[in-house]
């Protein structure tokens, strides 16, 4: 059956302007970091992407190394574009990144012009696209001059292979310098993608100020701490969870009883607000309008519905914020 997007898909989604640019992206974006690789179900990935778009999620976030195996998430998304989303290309914001290891030899990772442009060409081929909307440098390179990396991003825009450029995982001083260089080159930095959640607040220590001053937006990943800030861990560590599976991002040893106690106390506040813990955690990240979009992952459509429903209650009272701070400190 030919896919036809819902006619009311833009009725309830909130769209935020990215920094001082003319671009708006949804307050909730879908990341294809997990569940869209070559080892995953194509039909499940298809259902997730279709449902996300029907909910008004127009921004789909990828990277060259997403899978596994690396590159396979872009390949799957390219197939979905060809079969389902091609008529809606101009309604979509598609982003990809380069920075982590992709192929053998000295040009297969980090931030050289050679690697970045080669990787972008490969990404476009995998997805069957002429251009991406946003191309990110995925992580700072300690050995390549920042000027070279930023000039590669500038070239990606000038060559028509990307409409905008971003950076990810940059600390405040590095981000400030990247903003300066790109401004001088004439290709302003659009967006930064850092990790941020209730339990990981490093961007509050200077980075948010740098982005605000530079007119740069932000889209944050892991806002739910790989599932820790959901109801999944309220009763302890489930045997089929990422933590029990010794994930490199969330391990059983890192989930202490003290942290679980905080999760339970936060859940009480969420319940008082009429929200799930996940919904409150996402709304909290968006508080104060300093974050443009939260990047979520999903393995089933019910998770998409639950996460997007948090838009119904974005406001926090001063008392709620104070109670949350007391728990998190």
> What is the spatial distance between Cα 304 and Cα 52, in angstroms, rounded to a whole number?
7
How distant is the alpha carbon of residue 120 from its chain centre? 18
In the chain, % of residues over pLDDT 70: 95
pLDDT for the residue 319: 98
Buried b (16+ CB within 10 A) or exposed e, 154-176: bbbbeeebbbbbbbbbbebeebb
Q: Say if residues 92 and 99 touch (Cβ distance below 8 Å).
A: no
Tell me the percentage of the chain whose pLDDT exceeds 90: 92
Average pLDDT along the chain: 95
* pLDDT tens, position by position, 39-48: 999 999 999 9
Indicate whether 249 pLDDT > 60: no
Mean pLDDT of 59-67: 98
Q: What would the mean pLDDT of 12-26 be, rounded to a whole number?
A: 98
Residue 250 has what pLDDT?
A: 56
Q: Is the model's pLDDT at 297 over the cut of 70?
A: yes
Query: pLDDT value at position 275?
Result: 98
Mean pLDDT, to the nearest integer, of 251-267?
Answer: 86
What is the per-residue pLDDT for 235?
Answer: 77
Q: Per-residue pLDDT averaged across 238-245, rounded?
A: 58
CA angle, residues 209, 212, 218, in degrees to nearest 5:
100
Find the helix packing angle between 172-185 and 207-214, rounded to 10°: 20
pLDDT category at 28 given cuts 50, 70, 90 is very high
pLDDT tens for 137-190 read 999 999 999 999 999 999 999 999 999 999 999 999 999 999 999 999 999 999
Residue 183 CA: distances (Å) to CA of 170, 207, 209, 213, 214? 17, 18, 17, 13, 9
Quote the pLDDT of residue 1.
Answer: 80
- Per-position b or e across 221-239, b if 16+ CB within 10 A of its CB: bbbbbbbbbbebbeeeeee
Burial class (CB in 10 A: 0-12, 13-18, 19+), 104: exposed
Per-residue pLDDT tens digits for 88-121: 999 999 999 999 999 999 999 999 999 999 999 9
All domains of the chain, ordered by start, with CATH? Answer: 15-231+275-317 (3.20.20.100)
Residue 231 near residue 278 (C-beta atoms within 8 A): yes
CA distance 88 to 69: 28
Instruction: Provide the pLDDT for residue 255.
Output: 86
pLDDT band with cut points at 50, 70 and 90 for residue 234: confident
Collapsed DSSP state (helix, strand, coil) of residue 94: strand
Q: What is the model's pLDDT at position 243?
A: 56
Residue 72 Rama label (left phi>0; alpha psi -120 to 50; beta) = alpha
DSSP state for residue 195 in the 8-state scheme: B
Q: Work out the number of other CB atoms within 10 angstroms of the CB of residue 138.
A: 23
Alpha helices in 160-276 (DSSP H): 172-185, 207-214, 257-273
Stated pTM of the model? 0.94
Contacts of 112-116 spanning 24+ positions with Cβ under 8 A: 112/141, 112/144, 112/148, 112/149, 112/152, 113/148, 113/149, 113/151, 113/152, 113/155, 116/149, 116/152, 116/153, 116/156
Is residue 257 scored above 80 in pLDDT? Answer: yes
Residue 254 pLDDT exceeds 90: no
């Amino acid at each position: 059956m030919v896919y036809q997007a819902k006619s009311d898909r833009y009725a309830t989604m909130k769209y935020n302007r990215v920094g001082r640019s003319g671009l708006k992206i949804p307050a909730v974006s879908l990341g294809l970091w997990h569940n869209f690789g070559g080892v995953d179900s194509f039909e499940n990935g298809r259902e997730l992407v279709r449902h996300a778009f029907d909910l008004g999620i127009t921004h789909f976030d990828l990277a060259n190394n997403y899978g596994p195996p690396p590159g396979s998430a872009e390949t799957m998304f390219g197939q979905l574009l060809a079969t389902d989303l091609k008529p809606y290309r101009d309604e979509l914001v598609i982003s990809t990144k380069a920075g982590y290891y992709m192929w053998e030899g000295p040009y297969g990772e980090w931030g050289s012009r050679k690697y970045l442009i080669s990787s972008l060409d490969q990404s476009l081929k995998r997805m069957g696209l002429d251009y991406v909307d946003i191309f990110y440098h995925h992580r700072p390179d300690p050995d390549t001059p920042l000027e070279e990396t930023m000039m590669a991003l500038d070239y990606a825009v000038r060559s028509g292979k990307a409409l905008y450029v971003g950076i990810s995982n940059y600390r405040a001083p590095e981000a400030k310098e990247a903003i300066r260089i790109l401004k001088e080159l004439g290709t302003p930095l659009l967006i930064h993608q850092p990790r941020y959640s209730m339990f990981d607040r490093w961007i509050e220590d200077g980075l948010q100020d740098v982005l605000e001053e530079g007119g740069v937006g932000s889209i944050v990943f892991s806002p739910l701490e790989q599932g820790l800030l959901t109801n999944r861990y309220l009763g302890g560590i489930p045997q089929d969870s990422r933590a029990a599976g010794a994930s490199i991002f969330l391990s059983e040893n890192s989930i202490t009883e003290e942290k679980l106690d905080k999760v339970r106390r936060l859940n009480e506040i969420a319940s008082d607000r009429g929200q799930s813990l996940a919904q409150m955690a996402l709304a909290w990240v968006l508080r104060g309008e300093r974050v443009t979009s939260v990047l979520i992952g999903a393995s089933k459509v019910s998770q998409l519905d639950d996460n997007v429903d948090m838009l119904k209650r974005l406001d926090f009272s001063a008392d709620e914020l104070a109670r949350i701070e007391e728990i998190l400190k």
